[in-house]
Amino acid sequence: MTTKPAAPAPREITTKPRLSDRIFRGTVTGVGMLSLAILTLIGLFLALRGFQTFKSEGFHFISGVKWESVTSDNGTVTNNFGVGAMLIGTVLIATVALVVGVPLSVLTALFLTFYAPERIKRFMVSVVDLMAAFPSILYGLWGFFVLMPMVQYWAGLLYEYLRWIPIFNAPQPFFERSPFVAGMVLAIMIIPIVTSVSREIFAQTPLDRIQAAYALGATKWGMIKAVVFPFGSSGVVGGAMLGLGRAFGETVAVFTVLNIVFKVNLHILYGFGGNVASMIILKWGEAVGSETKALLAAGFILFVLTLMVNMLANAIVKRTLKSGK
């Protein structure tokens, strides 16, 4: 029997950071944590201020479609607050935005990554980045005065030829300030983020697979179908969801072009609708007391909704980008 020599005990390597380093690391870590604190505080404060509304309205706050605060003659206030109609409107408008904006963004990203000559590429990248820097009120103004007359005409065509599809129907041919118009403005507004995320993902497509496809005699489109889409599609879905988050939260541009009415309107061409964000600023000016609290509660709903969409989207995009490395 041979006895194994006892394994040496692992030495611990310790470095005791100097004071200046400890201060540095502490400060930087502390500030790093502040982002978390801010995000938590946003949720906390909005929930806190809206608490009364959640308590009195209950689930009805989400499902209800009325927003009224009636003061009777004897001074008692009857509240009936529900963001249901606006939530439906939010989703509806954002859906229009995605349906129009995402294909354009993906095409642009494909064009920039695989087709465009260097000079045009650089120019278009600047154009897309500039779009991201335009203030949303500019989109609102332009959308109202320039885009809306055009979109109204398109809406007319859709109504004329596709009325048999329920969402393109309308009680009357009145297409001004409709969810469709708002969706079109939002479609343009989400193009920068969806395009830049898609471009980042397409650019990560493993080069060896691209070369393999070309070496097999693939055309560019054949290569894109066989290699780029299988690799990038889930990441593009993530990018589209980031766009969705933006579309959910957009306020001023939607407010400017949309005729905000507190009713559920599923006819996207028909001239009224709403979303949660724009409803908040519409009601803010005249709101007092419990209505202000209800609006803060609505803000909380919006916050949670966008946060969830964004977190999910970021997780998806990150996973795709990692898989390419």
Partner 1 sequence: MSEDTNNGDEMSVDSAAPTNSLADVASAHTAARQPGNAPMGSGLEARGIHAWFGKHHALENVSLDFASGTVTALIGPSGCGKSTFIRTLNRMHEFIPSAAMAGEVLLDGKDIYSKGTDVTKIRLQIGMVFQKPNPFPSMTIGENVLSGLKLAQLKMSNKEDLMQECLERAGLWNEVKDRLGAHAGGLSGGQQQRLCIARALAVKPKVLLMDEPCSALDPGSTLRIEDTIGQLAQTMTIIIVTHNMQQAARVSDYTAFFLSEGGPGSMIEVGPTNEMFSRPRDQRTENYVSGRFG
Partner 2 sequence: MALETQVEIKPQRPWQSTPRELAPTFYLLVASVIASWAIVAVTPMKGKLAYAFLFFVFGTASLSINKGRKLGRAAAVDSIASSVAMTGAFLVFLPVASILFTTIQKGVAGLHWSLFTQTMFTASYSDPISKGGLLHALVGTLYLIFISVVVSVPMGILTALYLTEIKGPGANFIQFIVQAMSGVPSVVAGLFIFASLIVATPIKASAIAGALALSILMIPTVTRTAQEVLLLVPMDLREAGQALGATQWRTVATIVVPAARNGLITATILGVARIAGETAPLLFTIGGSDKLNWNPFKDYQGALPFYVWKGLLLGTPESIQRAWTGILVLLILVLVLFILARTLGGRKMKSK
CA nearest to 168, candidates 270, 252, 246: 270
Please give the residues from 170 up to 189 whose contact with partner 2 meets the rule CB under 8 A: 188
What would the x/- binding string for partner 1 be over residues 104 to 123, using CB under 8 A? --------------x-----
Cβ at position 318, least distance to partner 2 in Å: 8
CB-nearer residue toward partner 1: 26 or 222: 222
* Residue 188, C-beta contacts closer than 8 angstroms, at least 6 positions apart: 101, 131, 139, 143, 147
Q: Judged by CB under 8 A, which of 52, 125, 142, 209 binds partner 1? A: 209
CB-nearer residue toward partner 2: 149 or 266: 149
**Contact of residue 132 among partner 1, partner 2, none (CB under 5-8 Å per partner type):** partner 2
DSSP 80: E
**Contact of residue 53 among partner 1, partner 2, none (CB under 5-8 Å per partner type):** none
Q: In this structure, are residues 271 and 174 in contact, taking their beta carbons and an 8 Å threshold? A: yes
Tell me how crowded residue 208 is: count the other CB atoms within 10 A of its CB.
Answer: 9
Cβ at position 217, least distance to partner 1 in Å: 4
Q: In this structure, are residues 302 and 183 in contact, taking their beta carbons and an 8 Å threshold? A: no
Cβ at position 79, least distance to partner 1 in Å: 54
Cβ at position 120, least distance to partner 1 in Å: 13
Q: Judged by CB under 8 A, which of 71, 163, 211, 289 binds partner 1? A: 211
Piece of 21-29, 208-216, 236-244, 269-277 that binds partner 1 (CB under 8 A): 208-216
* Residue 267 Cα distances to 91, 149, 188, 241, 253, angstroms: 13, 18, 21, 24, 20
Cβ at position 205, least distance to partner 2 in Å: 15
110 lines the binding site for partner 2 (CB under 8 A): yes
Please give the residues from 218 up to 247 whose contact with partner 1 meets the rule CB under 8 A: 218-219, 222-223, 226-227, 230-231
Query: How many residues would you count in the chain?
Result: 325
Piece of 10-18, 63-71, 172-180, 202-210 that binds partner 1 (CB under 8 A): 202-210
How far apart (Å, rounded) are the C-alpha atoms in residues 254 and 177? 10
216 lines the binding site for partner 2 (CB under 8 A): no
CA nearest to 235, candidates 314, 126, 161, 133: 314
* Residue 240, C-beta contacts closer than 8 angstroms, at least 6 positions apart: 98, 102, 105, 194, 313
Q: Which residue has the tokens 């502040």?
A: 34
299 lines the binding site for partner 2 (CB under 8 A): yes
Structure tokens belonging to residue 265: 């309107």
Residue type, 203: A
Instruction: Please report, as ranges, the residues that interact with partner 1 according to CB under 8 A.
Output: 118, 206, 208-209, 211-219, 222-223, 226-227, 230-231
